[in-house]
Amino acid sequence: MRMRQKSELPTKVCVCCQRPFAWRKKWERDWEGVKYCSDRCRQTGTKTSGKAAQA
């Protein structure tokens, strides 16, 4: 398996903080389902999305 440069990896934009983040090996199986760049954004995002859904 050939090593790739970080610029060659797919990227997404975090739903919570709107920053781009790159593919990681641990997300290999569920890359389509990844929405947040970190645990902190995931925790904050679920709190804010719940309030936004009620408003």
pLDDT of residue 3: 76
Q: Whole-structure pTM over 0.75, yes or no? A: no
- Identity of the amino acid at 6: K
Query: Averaged over 26-34, what is the pLDDT?
Result: 92
Query: Averaged over 1-23, what is the pLDDT?
Result: 87
Total number of domains in the chain? 1
pLDDT of residue 54: 47
Report whether 20 contacts 8 (CB < 8 A): no
Residue 27 included in any domain: yes
Residue 29 included in any domain: yes
Taking CA atoms, 51 is separated from 23, 32, 41, 44, 47, in Å, by 29, 25, 15, 11, 7
Residue 13 included in any domain: yes
pLDDT of residue 53: 47
Domain carrying residue 10: 6-48
